[in-house]
Structure 1
Amino acid sequence: MMYLGGCCSCRFDAWILYSARLTLTKELQHSSILTSSSSYPPSRRTPPLNSNYLFNMEEDHITASTKSSSSKQYENHTSNPIIPLPKLANFDVLFSDPNRRWASDLLLDCARAVSTSDKPRVHHLMWILSELASPYGDLDQRIASYFLEALFARLTSTGPRTLLTLSSVSDRITCFESTRRTNLRFQDLSPWSTFGHVAANGAILDSFLSPSSSNPNSASRLHILDLSTTFCTQWPTLLESLATRSSGADDTPHLSITTVVPSSSPSAHRVMREIAPRIDKFARLMGVPFCFSVVHYPDPDLSTLDLPRLVADDGSSTTLAVNCVNFLHRVPPAGRRRDILLANIRQLRPQIVTLLEEEANLVGFEDEDEGFLKDFRECLGFFSAYFDSLDYCFPKTSNDRLALERAAGRAVVDLVACPAEESSERRERAAGWSRRMKIAGFKPAAFSDDVTEDLSALLKRHKEGWSMRSADKDVEDSTPSGFGGYATTGLFLTWKERPVLWASVWKA
């Protein structure tokens, strides 16, 4: 079992965990959970593996190796006494309601035991979860699988090492074709990513094509500083829009895009090497004069980016737009580094800044008991909504879905088990970002009616459950930095009434 690897070097006492396993097995048999008469469906206990999961072979091999190592550890402690544990919860109640999320209940109970250092209870619940969890099962099983891994990494102080292992495996099996297929499939089935693309592209076009006091005659060149993790999937529609809105070749604006890739992984280099010639070719087909450059930035402290070097001064005929899509939360919040990066962007004097971030208060997991439980609940709520949306949009046996869920699983390990100063997943709520933008000197702007209509049309093409609402109201924020009382601007994408994404426009 993957989660129990390396127990000899961790703070778990192997003999207690082995005893808990034996005790729990007996209790589960008595409660009929492992029998055919159980109220828990057999398919949840042992979900069948699809033979087509070639995408997962290397990671499954690591899991199997770790599982074998763990089994040997247990075999060395067969003579230890059984330690009595508390009685199981009423599983008939837990599983009888098909709409009840049993994974959330058990994971929160486990997190509560972690926060109070209740070791026997932690061992007890983690074994229950390990028996029920599977990355190939139903929604609850998948959520339980990834959060159990993160909790175990936190308990054993192996978060950074676990994250490095998972990232290395992902990097080895990632290529351009798999990235392209997964991203296109995700965009086709869910508005999670395309919502921000449509909002940002519409706002950039409106700013570029509409005369303003700072740009009375409209510019002939558009330079976009792309701070995002979208692998340029946003830009083909923008190129097409620029081509169709021009009356002839002479007045087609010149577009330059400088994309910053916040990663030094070989897979990111491989993917971007394939993307560059393809986007150049597409621009030629559209008849848009185009210049594209990629900057790989390996330093995790993105606040040290030399932005003026990336943006050449092309004169008054150039409109500068900064596109931030799920990028700012990759900057660790400690040391005012996010404020420093935004101040550096402000010094570029862009005509427009588009900002899209996922809506969750995950700035940092506190060490205090109550703080950890509160932060874990927020993390569980946000990623449960994400997994739920994937479950609603994708078939169960989908390699693309599995790739997206594994990426989310790495984010969960980062959040739950890694130090905040090393994290690249600390999301903030809209109110926190709004405060930071205003402190940096930006002023909020509104999306045009055309953009809002385009977003509404986008959501109508997808299944029920997605909606959009305005964020133009005072939102009290409870982030640790005390961000609150600031008017929030922009639009929320909601999944089953829960805001999951926030899109906004800002002027320098």
Structure 2
Amino acid sequence: MNETGRQLASFAESLKLPFTFKMVIVYDMNDLHEDLFEIEADEVVGVYASLILRTMIIKPNRLENLLRVIRRLKPCTMTVTEVEGDQHNSSSFINSFIKSLFFYSAWFDCLNDCMDRNDPNRMSLEGKFLSRGIRSIVATEGDERMIMHVGINLWRSFGRFGFVEIQARLAAKKFACGGPVNLDMNEKSLIVGWKGTPLFSFSAWKLR
């Protein structure tokens, strides 16, 4: 997290923007509240949640508290990047295993084509993101499961917290690299895939 702060500070300095990085750490998401954030009266708030909400689906009270806090912070926009994998939760272990096998095979194939094997970012992806997901989906069930993959339709439940989905088409420019990458719109959200296998969704939201 400190390294993230240093990178953001360096980027802000290159743009001659005033910038302060402050971490807020809670050990239970139910302990998160808006008073922990030092926000100036004229400050514009944006929220970016990347591959984190999937860790709270199995504990919906924590996810709901997070969304209530975000709403009270009144962000101008909230962007969410999440795994697109609602077929990984079949009641049949065989079906879930096969769907997960195709999903993670596509991920590793994508990494082989797009990143050098010794790239530290790749090693971080494989070690923290992919391996944790594989262990959680294939080797655990019930209360032991720490990660659950869902589809973009579940995130549309943000609507009950006062969020409205907005167009994410501009995000396609970030991922445009040709080849076997698939970019498809699902209503207003972008679905990024590899050789026909959906990998993750990119969605944007604003308050009503």
Distance 2:14 2:155 in 1: 38
Q: Which residue of the partner structure matches residue 454 of structure 1?
A: 173
Pair 1:466-2:181 in alignment: yes
Look up the equivalent residue of 2:40 and give its one-letter code: D
Equivalent of 1:286 in 10, 15, 33:
15
Q: Which residue of the partner structure matches residue 503 of structure 1?
A: 202
Q: Which residue of the partner structure matches residue 310 of structure 1?
A: 36
Count of residues in Structure 1 that have an aligned counterpart in Structure 2: 205
Equivalent of 1:430 in 122, 143, 152:
152
Equivalent of 1:382 in 103, 111, 117:
103
Q: Which residue of the partner structure matches residue 85 of structure 2?
A: 360
Kindly provide the CA deviation profile for residues 234-259 of structure 1, in whole angstroms up to 9, marking residues without a partner as x.
Answer: xxxxxxxxxxxxxxxxxxxxxxxxxx
Distance 2:47 2:11 in 1: 22
SS of the residue 2:176 aligns to: helix
TM-superposed deviation, 1:319: 1.9
Kindly provide the CA deviation profile for residues 446-494 of structure 1, in whole angstroms up to 9, marking residues without a partner as x.
Answer: 136xx25633xx423xx6111311111xxxxxxxxxxxxxxxx311112
**Shift in alpha-carbon separation, 1:281–1:464, aligned structure 2, 3 A:** closer
TM-superposed deviation, 1:329: 0.7
After TM superposition, the score normalised by the length of structure 1 is 0.37
TM-superposed deviation, 1:326: 1.0
Distance 1:453 1:360 in 2: 20
TM-superposed deviation, 1:383: 1.0
Pair 1:324-2:79 in alignment: no
After TM superposition, the score normalised by the length of structure 2 is 0.82
SS of the residue 1:413 aligns to: helix
Kindly provide the CA deviation profile for residues 68-116 of structure 1, in whole angstroms up to 9, marking residues without a partner as x.
Answer: xxxxxxxxxxxxxxxxxxxxxxxxxxxxxxxxxxxxxxxxxxxxxxxxx
Distance 1:440 1:419 in 2: 29
Q: How does 1:406-417 map to 2 (within 5 A)?
A: 406-407=127-128, 408-417=130-139
Distance 1:465 1:471 in 2: 19
**Shift in alpha-carbon separation, 1:365–1:338, aligned structure 2, 3 A:** farther
Kindly provide the CA deviation profile for residues 270-312 of structure 1, in whole angstroms up to 9, marking residues without a partner as x.
Answer: xx3344345334423431101111233343xx3x142302334
Look up the equivalent residue of 1:417 and give its one-letter code: A
TM-superposed deviation, 1:381: 2.1
TM-superposed deviation, 1:399: 6.2
Q: Which residue of the partner structure matches residue 118 of structure 2?
A: 398
Higher relative contact order, structure no. (Cα contacts within 8 Å, ≥ 6 residues apart) = 2
Equivalent of 2:165 in 433, 441, 444:
444
SS of the residue 2:21 aligns to: strand
Pair 1:276-2:5 in alignment: yes
Q: How does 1:130-209 map to 2 (within 5 A)?
A: none
Distance 2:132 2:65 in 1: 27
Name the larger-Rg structure.
Answer: 1
**Shift in alpha-carbon separation, 1:377–1:439, aligned structure 2, 3 A:** farther
Distance 1:394 1:351 in 2: 34
Kindly provide the CA deviation profile for residues 169-188 of structure 1, in whole angstroms up to 9, marking residues without a partner as x.
Answer: xxxxxxxxxxxxxxxxxxxx
Look up the equivalent residue of 2:125 and give its one-letter code: L
TM-superposed deviation, 1:357: 0.6
Q: Which residue of the partner structure matches residue 221 of structure 1?
A: none
Equivalent of 1:494 in 193, 199, 204:
193
Look up the equivalent residue of 1:398 and give its one-letter code: N
**Shift in alpha-carbon separation, 1:490–1:498, aligned structure 2, 3 A:** same
Distance 1:503 1:467 in 2: 13
Distance 2:25 2:134 in 1: 24
Distance 1:339 1:295 in 2: 18
Q: Which residue of the partner structure matches residue 26 of structure 2?
A: 297
TM-superposed deviation, 1:496: 1.0
Look up the equivalent residue of 2:35 and give its one-letter code: R
Q: Which residue of the partner structure matches residue 98 of structure 1?
A: none
Verify the 8 A CA contact 1:346 1:440 in the aligned structure 2.
yes
TM-superposed deviation, 1:334: 4.1
Structure 2: unaligned runs, 5 residues or longer: none
Question: Larger % of helix: which?
Answer: 1
**Shift in alpha-carbon separation, 1:374–1:360, aligned structure 2, 3 A:** same
Distance 1:325 1:383 in 2: 18
Q: Which residue of the partner structure matches residue 20 of structure 1?
A: none
Look up the equivalent residue of 2:69 and give its one-letter code: N
Verify the 8 A CA contact 2:32 2:65 in the aligned structure 1.
no
TM-superposed deviation, 1:406: 3.6
**Shift in alpha-carbon separation, 1:276–1:332, aligned structure 2, 3 A:** same
SS of the residue 1:319 aligns to: coil
Structure 1: unaligned runs, 5 residues or longer: 1-271, 473-488
TM-superposed deviation, 1:424: 3.3
TM-superposed deviation, 1:433: 1.2
Verify the 8 A CA contact 1:364 1:420 in the aligned structure 2.
no
Question: Larger % of strand: which?
Answer: 2
Verify the 8 A CA contact 1:364 1:375 in the aligned structure 2.
yes
